[in-house]
Amino acid sequence: FLLLALAEMYRATREEIYREEAIALLNLIEQFISEPELLGRPILPGARATRNLAIPMIYLNLIEEMDGILDEEDLKVKRESSIHETLAHLDPDLKVFRENLDENGFFNDLPEGRLINPGHSIEACWFLLHAAGRCELPEIWVTILEALQGSLSLGWDHDEDGLFYFIDADGKPPRQLEWSMKLWWPHTEALYALALAFTLTGDHSFEQWHQRIHEYAFTRFADEVDGEWFGYCDRYGKVTHRLKGGDYKGCFHVPRALLYTVKVLERL
């Protein structure tokens, strides 16, 4: 989040200090990725090594925000590498991104290998759509749009509505006790991803999904009395935590999604 802010401050002010700090922070993040023990996350003996989706997809988003700050060739190499690493998590049969690969880059039949976070999968789709457009890779758009459809179809609770927090690729019980909860951020990511997909394709199935997500999100999470959004609902759409901020929910996902959605819909 700090890197995003520094990059935007540089674009707004053209003050070199923000550019320098953004590049320095990106270098530090790259070091954390290669050496996670620097963040207090030692790799314990006997622990199964995994490749987590969050790293390449979030890094891809960071790289996109560094456009105009990094050297163009460096940006191109980092972008294409991140696209490749993110797409490696795509399950070609389910058309959804899995959270973890084994150390060799393959899916495995273990709880962590079958784990799917629909919100992450949807978010990865719009990160990839942005990147594919900027590096002129329209040939992967179909793959990404299919993954968006797959993420929604598989992640949607067809009995109680809303997007599950976690699901198992084989339909087995996830280990995460909160798997059936409905969180605000997967729905905000879906609002923007669907608006973007509709403007790119004109496919009304994305419009219909957007309307469904919009209705769910604004009737469960948005607080019409005091403003802002609640973050956490149970499976049945009842708010479980009335706080609107905490360790994971800040003033980011909601305004970003709404601003991006308005901006992309203005193109219509």
pLDDT of residue 38: 86
Mean pLDDT of 177-198: 98
Query: What distance in Å separates the CA atoms of residue 49 and residue 51, rounded to the nearest whole number?
Result: 7
Mean pLDDT of 138-156: 96
CATH for 51-265?
1.50.10.10
Q: Which residues lie across from 239 on neighbouring strands?
A: 233
pLDDT of residue 37: 83
pLDDT digits (tens, 9 = 90+) for 19-63: 999 999 999 999 999 988 888 777 778 878 899 999 999 999 999
- Give this prediction's pTM: 0.95
Asked which of 67-81, 102-116, 131-145, 148-162 is least confident by mean pLDDT, the reply is 131-145
Query: What distance in Å separates the CA atoms of residue 233 and residue 235, rounded to the nearest whole number?
Result: 7
Query: What distance in Å separates the CA atoms of residue 1 and residue 86, rounded to the nearest whole number?
Result: 20
pLDDT digits (tens, 9 = 90+) for 209-254: 999 999 999 999 999 999 999 999 999 999 999 999 999 999 999 9
pLDDT of residue 136: 77
Round to the nearest angstrom and report the end-to-end CA distance of the chain.
30
Q: Please provide the DSSP assignment of the chain as one string.
A: -HHHHHHHHHHHH--HHHHHHHHHHHHHHHHHHH-GGGGT----TTPPPEEETHHHHHHHHHHHHTTTTS-HHHHHHHHHHHHHHHHTTEETTTTEE-SEEETTS---SSHHHHEE-HHHHHHHHHHHHHHHHHTT-GGGHHHHHHHHHHHHHHHB-TTT-SB-S-EETTSPPPS-TTTT-EEHHHHHHHHHHHHHHHHHH--HHHHHHHHHHHHHHHHHTB-TTT-SB--EE-TTS-EEE--S-SSS--SSHHHHHHHHHHHHHTT-
pLDDT of residue 43: 75
Go through the chain and tell me how many residues it has.
Answer: 268
Is the pLDDT at 96 greater than 80? The verdict is: yes
Query: What distance in Å separates the CA atoms of residue 58 and residue 48, rounded to the nearest whole number?
Result: 22
Q: Mean pLDDT in the chain? A: 95
Q: Which residues of 152-183 are buried (b: 16+ CB within 10 A; e: fewer)?
A: bebbbbeeebbbbbbbbbeeeebeeeebbbbb
pLDDT of residue 13: 97
Is the pLDDT at 137 greater than 90? The verdict is: no
Mean pLDDT of 250-264: 96
pLDDT of residue 232: 98
Asked which of 37-41, 129-133, 167-171, 223-227 is least confident by mean pLDDT, the reply is 37-41
